[in-house]
C-alpha cells in the first residue's frame, strides 16, 4: 500500500488514526502492530509470516544474547547476523547471482542452470537492517532488548517506516516505544500531519511529474538521445529521486510524529553539499549512519592505515550500492561514490577548497547527477551511451518541454538549493508555542495539499476518450 494512493489517504489514514486516537494509551502499541501487519499483508500476504518469523527469531535470540557471555554470546551474534544476511541475500540477490552465473556458463558453452525466480518480500532491505541494528545494539550493550515482543514487533513493523525507511537504529527508538506515557499533543499531531502533507506533495506534485519525463527520456533508444535530452533526463531524474525519496521520508516521519514517535531526519538538502563526503552526510542519512555504525566502524573505522581506510570506504560504498538493488548499475554507482570519497580524502577536498562555495556546490552536484545516471540506467551499456550523449554537445533538433514540467523543475531546484524551506515545513522546535495563526496556516496547508494531491493521484489514470461508444 502506497502512502500516495487514494486507498491509503481515503480509507486507511482516517480509519487508522480515528481508532488510534480513541484508544487508551496501553492499547495503542498493540493497535499499531495490528494495523501494520494488515498494512504489510495487504501488499505482500505471502511474506507476512516470513516477516513475523524473523521478528520472533531475532527477539528470542536477543534475549539469549543478553543472557550469554564470552564466546557463546559472540557465536549467537554471528549466527543471528548470518541468518538475517542470508535471508536478505536469498530473497534479494539469488536471481542476480543465478543470472550472472548463467551468463558465465553460457560464455563457456555450458548449459545454463534452470532455476525458479525468487519473489522479493517488500521492505526486506529495511527490516533486515532494523533487525541487525537491534541484535548488534543488544550485543554491544547499548540497549537491553525489549521485554514485550509486541514492542519489538512495533519497532520492526511500524508501518510508516516498514517499506522504505528511514532506517531507525534500535537505540534511537526503543525508549520511545517502551515508555509510551505521552498524552495526546495536538501540536505534535498537526506538525506530523503537515510533514506528511508536505512529503505527499513532494512525491505527487513534483517527483511524479519529473519522473514521467525521466522515464520517457530513459526509455528512448540511444540513437534518439542528444545533448539536451540526455541532460534533461539526468536532471529530471536527479530531482525526481530526491523529491520522491525525501517525500517518502517526510511522510514516514510525519505519520510517526502523529503517533508520538520522533524519527531521525533522513535528508538535509543534499544538493547543496560541497563535497561527496558532505553529500553522504545529507543524503539518506539514516543509511549512512547505519553503515557507519554497523559496518565501517567494525571494519576499523578511521583507526587504520590510509590504504586500509580507502579500501574500507570503498567496500562500504560498494555494499551500500548493492543494498539499493541487485543490478550491476547499483554496484557501479556505489563504487563511483566510493571512488570520489577516497580521492576527496587523498587530494580533492584540498583542491576544491580553493574554488569557492558556489563552484564546490556546482562541482559536487555535477558528480551526483552523473552518478544518478548510473543509478537510473537499465544497464551499464545504457549508462555509457547516456554519458557519451551528455558530453557530445550535439543536438538532434529542437526540443519542447511543457510549461508544467519546467515549472516543476524550477520549483524542485528552488526547494533543493534554498535550505530555508525545510524549516517552514513543520520542523520548528518550539511547536507547542505555535500560535493560532500558525496553526490555522498549517491546517490550511494540510487541507490544500491533501486535496490537490488526492486530485492528482485519482486523475493519474483517468484519461477519457471523446468517443468510445462503438
Partner 1 sequence: MKQLKTTTFILLFLLLWIPLLQQLTGIFKETRLKGAYVESVMPKFSADSLKTFGYQKQFEKYQNEHFGLRPLFVKLKNTLEYLLFGELSVTDNVLGKNGLIFSRGSIGRTLGIYYNGREQNEATAEKIRFMKEALERRGSHVIVLMAPSKEMVFPEYLPDSYLGQAKPANDYSDLVRSLNRAGVPLLDFCTYFRKMKDTSSIQLFTKTGFHWSVYAASLAEDSLLHFIRPYVKGPMLEYRRVGAEWSDTARLSDADFEDPQNLFISLQQDRYLYPKLEMVKGTAGRKRPKVIIIGDSFFWQIKDQKRLKTIFSPDSKYWYYFASTSFPLNDDAGVPLRNINIIEELETADIVLLSGSMGTFDHFPFGVSDYYYEHIAQQKELIKGIFAYLWDHPEWAKGLPESSRANNDVYTRLVEKEAIKICSYKRTIRLKANNGRFVSADGARNNIAVCDKQKASTWETLGLIPLGGNKYAISSYKNRYFSAELGGRGELIANRPAIRDWEVFTMLELEDGRVAFKAANGKYVSLDETSLQLFAKAASVGPGEKFLMMD
| Residue 407 is a binding residue for partner 1 (CB under 8 A) | yes
Q: CB 41: neighbour CB atoms within 10 A? A: 16
Query: Could you tell me the smallest distance in angstroms from the CB atom of residue 32 to partner 1?
Result: 18
Q: Confirm or reject binding of residue 414 to partner 1 (CB under 8 A).
A: no
Angle at 61 between CA 60 and CA 66, to 5 degrees: 105
CA distances to 43, 48, 353 from 36, rounded to whole Å, are 11, 11, 48
Long-range contacts of 275-283 (CB under 8 A, 24+ apart): 275/344, 275/348, 275/349, 275/352, 275/360, 275/364, 276/337, 276/340, 276/341, 276/344, 276/364, 276/367, 276/368, 277/341, 277/344, 277/345, 277/349, 278/364, 279/364, 279/368, 280/337, 280/341
Are 330 and 322 spatial neighbours (Cβ–Cβ below 8 Å)?
yes
Q: How far is it, in rounded angstroms, from Cα 243 to Cα 214?
A: 13
* Ranges within 226-255 binding partner 1 (CB under 8 A): none
Q: Which three cell numbers stand for residue 271?
A: 544538493
Number of residues that bind partner 1 (CB under 8 A): 54
Residue closer to partner 1, measured from CB, 62 or 255: 255
Of the residues 42, 49, 391, 417, which one makes contact with partner 1 according to CB under 8 A:
42
Per CB under 8 A, the list member of 18, 106, 381, 394 interacting with partner 1 is: 18
In angstroms, what CA-CA distances link 366 with 235, 336, 395, 411? Answer: 10, 13, 20, 19
Which residue from 26, 347, 358, 470 is in contact with partner 1, where contact means CB under 8 A?
470
Contact status, residue 97 vs residue 71, Cβ threshold 8 Å: no
- Residue 347 interacts with partner 1 (CB under 8 A): yes or no: no
We find the least distance from the C-beta atom of residue 176 to partner 1, in angstroms, to be 22
Catalytic residue, chosen from 284, 324, 337, 378, is: 324
| The C-alpha cell that represents 247 in the structure block | 517525500
SS (H, E, C) 186-239: HHHHHHHHHHHHHHHHHHHHHHHHHHHHHHHHHCCCHHHCCHHHHHHHHHHHHH
Q: Which stretch binds partner 1 (CB under 8 A): 62-70, 132-140, 241-249, 399-407?
A: 399-407
| Window 151-190: contact mask with partner 1 (x via CB under 8 A) | -----------------------------------xx-xx
How many CB atoms lie under 10 A from the CB of residue 335? Answer: 17
Is the Cβ of residue 204 or residue 241 nearer to partner 1 in the bound state? Answer: 204
Does the protein bind partner 1 through residue 206 (CB under 8 A)?
Answer: no
Binding mask 315-344 for partner 1 (x = CB under 8 A): ------------------------------
Output the DSSP codes for 168-193: --HHHHHHHHH---PPP-HHHHHHHH
Contact 7, 39 (CB under 8 A): no
Of the candidate residues 3, 4, 14, 75, the single one contacting partner 1 (CB under 8 A): 14
Smallest distance from the beta carbon of 119 to partner 1, in angstroms?
Answer: 10
Cell of 421: 524551506
Q: Does 403 bind partner 1 (CB under 8 A)?
A: yes
Work out how close the CB of 53 gets to partner 1 at its nearest, in angstroms, rounded to a whole number: 17
Within a 10 A sphere around the Cβ of 404, how many other Cβ atoms?
11
Contact between 398 and partner 1 by CB under 8 A: the answer reads yes
Among 41-49, 260-268, 347-355, 384-392, the segment contacting partner 1 (CB under 8 A):
41-49
Check residue 10 for interaction with partner 1 (CB under 8 A): yes
Q: DSSP characters for 257-287?
A: HHHT--PPP--S-GGG-SSHHHHHHHSSHHH
Among 19, 23, 38, 44, binds partner 1 (CB under 8 A): 44
- Closest approach of Cβ 11 to partner 1, in Å? 6
- For residue 399, the minimal CB distance to partner 1 (Å) is 9
How many other β-carbons are positioned within 10 Å of the β-carbon of residue 142?
A: 14
Residues 425-464 that bind partner 1 (CB under 8 A): 435-436, 439-440, 443, 446-447, 450-452, 454-459, 461-464
Closest approach, Cβ 236 to partner 1, in A, equals 16
Smallest distance from the beta carbon of 188 to partner 1, in angstroms?
A: 11
Q: Is 63 a catalytic residue?
A: no
Q: Which of residues 361 and 434 has its CB atom nearest to partner 1 in the complex?
A: 434
Query: Footprint of partner 1 on this chain (CB under 8 A)?
Result: 1, 5-7, 10-11, 13-15, 17-18, 42-46, 186-187, 189-190, 193, 397-398, 400, 402-404, 407, 435-436, 439-440, 443, 446-447, 450-452, 454-459, 461-470
The catalytic residue positions are 324
Amino acid at each position: 500500500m502506497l502512502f500516495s494512493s487514494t486507498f491509503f489517504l481515503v480509507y486507511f489514514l482516517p480509519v487508522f488514526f480515528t481508532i488510534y486516537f480513541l484508544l487508551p494509551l496501553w492499547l495503542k502499541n498493540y493497535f499499531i502492530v495490528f494495523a501494520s501487519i494488515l498494512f504489510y499483508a495487504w501488499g505482500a500476504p505471502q511474506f507476512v509470516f516470513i516477516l513475523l518469523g524473523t521478528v520472533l527469531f531475532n527477539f528470542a535470540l536477543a534475549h539469549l544474547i543478553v543472557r550469554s557471555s564470552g564466546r557463546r554470546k559472540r557465536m549467537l551474534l554471528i549466527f543471528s547476523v548470518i541468518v538475517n544476511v542470508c535471508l536478505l541475500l536469498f530473497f534479494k540477490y539469488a536471481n542476480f547471482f543465478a543470472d550472472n552465473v548463467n551468463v558465465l556458463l553460457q560464455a563457456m558453452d555450458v548449459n545454463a542452470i534452470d532455476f525458479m525466480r525468487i519473489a522479493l518480500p517488500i521492505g526486506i532491505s529495511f527490516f533486515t537492517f532494523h533487525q541487525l541494528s537491534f541484535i548488534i545494539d543488544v550485543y554491544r550493550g547499548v540497549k537491553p532488548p525489549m521485554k514485550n515482543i509486541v514492542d519489538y514487533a512495533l519497532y520492526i513493523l511500524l508501518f510508516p517506516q516498514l517499506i522504505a525507511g528511514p532506517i531507525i537504529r534500535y537505540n534511537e527508538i526503543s525508549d520511545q516505544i517502551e515508555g509510551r506515557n505521552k498524552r495526546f499533543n495536538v501540536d505534535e499531531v498537526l506538525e506530523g500531519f503537515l510533514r506528511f502533507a508536505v512529503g505527499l506533495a513532494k512525491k505527487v506534485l513534483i517527483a511524479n511529474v519529473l519522473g514521467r519525463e525521466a522515464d520517457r527520456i530513459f526509455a528512448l533508444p540511444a540513437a534518439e538521445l542528444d545533448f539536451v535530452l540526455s541532460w534533461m533526463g539526468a536532471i529530471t531524474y536527479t530531482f525526481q529521486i530526491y523529491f520522491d525519496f525525501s517525500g517518502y521520508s517526510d511522510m514516514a516521519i510525519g505519520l510517526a510524529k502523529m503517533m508520538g514517535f520522533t524519527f531521525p531526519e533522513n535528508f538535509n538538502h543534499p544538493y547543496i553539499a560541497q563535497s561527496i563526503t558532505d553529500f553522504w552526510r545529507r543524503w539518506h542519512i539514516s543509511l549512512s549512519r547505519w553503515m557507519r555504525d554497523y559496518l565501517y566502524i567494525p571494519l576499523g573505522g578511521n583507526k587504520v592505515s590510509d590504504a586500509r581506510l580507502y579500501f574500507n570506504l570503498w567496500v562500504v560504498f560498494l555494499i551500500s550500492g548493492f543494498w539499493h538493488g541487485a543490478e550491476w548499475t547499483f554496484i557501479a554507482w556505489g563504487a563511483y561514490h566510493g571512488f570520489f570519497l577516497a580521492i576527496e580524502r587523498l587530494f580533492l577536498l584540498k583542491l576544491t577548497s580553493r574554488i569557492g562555495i558556489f563552484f564546490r556546490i556546482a562541482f559536487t552536484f555535477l558528480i551526483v547527477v552523473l552518478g544518478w545516471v548510473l543509478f537510473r540506467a537499465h544497464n551499464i551499456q545504457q549508462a555509457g551511451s547516456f554519458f557519451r550523449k551528455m558530453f557530445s554537445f550535439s543536438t538532434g533538433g529542437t526540443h519542447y518541454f511543457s510549461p508544467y514540467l519546467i515549472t516543476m523543475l524550477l520549483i524542485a531546484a528552488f526547494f533543493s538549493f534554498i535550505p530555508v524551506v525545510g524549516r517552514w515545513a513543520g520542523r520548528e522546535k518550539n511547536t507547542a508555542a505555535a500560535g493560532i495563526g500558525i496553526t490555522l496556516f498549517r491546517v490550511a496547508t494540510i487541507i490544500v495539499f491533501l486535496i490537490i494531491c488526492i486530485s492528482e493521484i485519482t486523475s493519474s489514470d483517468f484519461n477519457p476518450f471523446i468517443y468510445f461508444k462503438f
